[in-house]
Amino acid sequence: MGTTLPVVASVIELALMAYSLITRSHQERVRSVIRIAVLAAFSLGLATAVIPWGARWIGLAALLFVQAVRGVWALRTDRGRADGYRAAVPVRRAIGALLLLLVAISPALVFPPYEPLPASGPYAVATARDTYTDANRVERLGGRGGNRRVNASFWYPDRADGADSYPLVLFSHGGLGTEDSNESLYLELASHGYVVCSVGHPYHTLWTRDDAGRITLVSMDYVRELQQEDAQRDKQQSFRSYQGWMETRVGDLDLVLDTVLERAAAGASGVYGLVDGKRIGVMGHSLGGSAALAIPRERDDIDAVIALESPFLYDIVAVENDAFVFVDRAYPVPVLNVYSDSAWGHLAEWPQYARNYALLTDPPATAFNVHLGGAGHLSLTDLSLVSPLLVRFLDGGRSAEDSRAYLRSVGRVCLEFLDRYVKDLPQPT
């Protein structure tokens, strides 16, 4: 429907132009009747759910409504009586209408309707949200001041009896991601018996909403810092950026993890009562994966880490002789690094990925690397479902031919790894 509507609307505009040129008349009455009929057909499509309503259609609905109102006015005033035909007018009208249509329909083209990826596990999945205040950190990224408040969303097995507990998986979104950026993965893990907690890092996430309904948007200073960071050109500046990003995100993850574990240990109700605090995995995408990789360096209650195309930024401790210096300690827990085509061919040349390359060329027994080819960096997230066009643009033309199959592969490799190293289940044969 996302492509059918603009095609039909374009054909109508071109047909009106052709009819006007052939009949040498502006055809005001015909044009007005068609405008009213198009709005009626669009409204009927919405009413019968043939067209699924969403914010993507607001622009088109407004355009059709205005055109229909003008049509009613033209019919009531009989504006078409004195035609005053000029050949250029139908052409200009068609061009203008098509440009307006393009603007109005662009949200639907960029964000077409899609069906969520179904989870394959035996459990139904419930959701919850919460907000945590860090008594030890003052908010420095935004102008509100006060203590930093961090939001978290949960996906967990919907077990009414509350008798079971499940491993906890903490997730950190990418550089400009959101809490639900990998929802298909969260649903898959929760359906197989995990409590998934996705952290929304205020001012690092595109947007997030706290428990009072207050929305926090991404910091433009942070966006500029992301855009300007270039590890090959200026390693010192990159190192300073990495330190700031990791301090913020690791602090957020520690806050959420500590709070969830405290409430679970205290026997709190709801999702907290389902958390098994002795089995914990941490994962993330891109910059979020870098933060996830940092957590086992700071605490000893983590069983395993998954990084979806993420460098070991926290392990960079200095810059010497124009090269990053990495901490000289073995990685303490099992780790799975998942790569798309975006980074896979560059691990040896991108300086911030030097530790990733070392784990690829000489991996210890508990370091694993998986290359999921045929797609780019953002195809590792649900943005490939939400906006295939945007993913293709942002990933430089690299996008999965079948994004649903690609995301199922991401879910499968992550589930197998967590089952092995967090649940301690036998490896699949």
Q: What is the pLDDT along the chain (429 residues), one digit of tens a residue?
A: 555 777 787 888 888 888 888 888 878 888 888 888 888 888 888 888 777 777 778 888 888 888 888 888 888 876 554 556 787 888 888 888 888 888 887 777 777 778 889 999 999 999 999 999 999 999 988 767 789 999 999 999 997 556 689 999 999 999 999 999 999 999 999 999 999 999 999 999 999 999 989 999 999 999 999 999 999 999 999 999 999 999 999 999 999 999 999 999 999 989 999 999 999 999 999 999 999 999 999 999 999 999 999 999 999 999 999 999 999 999 999 999 999 999 999 999 999 999 999 999 999 999 999 999 999 999 999 999 998 888 988 888 777 778 999 999 999 999 999 999 999 988 765
pLDDT tens by residue, 180-233: 999 999 999 999 999 999 999 999 999 999 998 999 999 999 999 999 999 999
Cβ-in-10-Å burial (0-12, 13-18, 19+) of 206 comes to: middle
Domains and CATH numbers, the chain: 4-110 (no CATH), 125-421 (3.40.50.1820)
**Residues with Cβ within 8 Å of residue 380, at least 6 apart in sequence:** 182, 285, 308, 309, 338, 340, 372, 410
pTM for the whole structure: 0.84
**Residues with Cβ within 8 Å of residue 180, at least 6 apart in sequence:** 153, 186, 198, 382
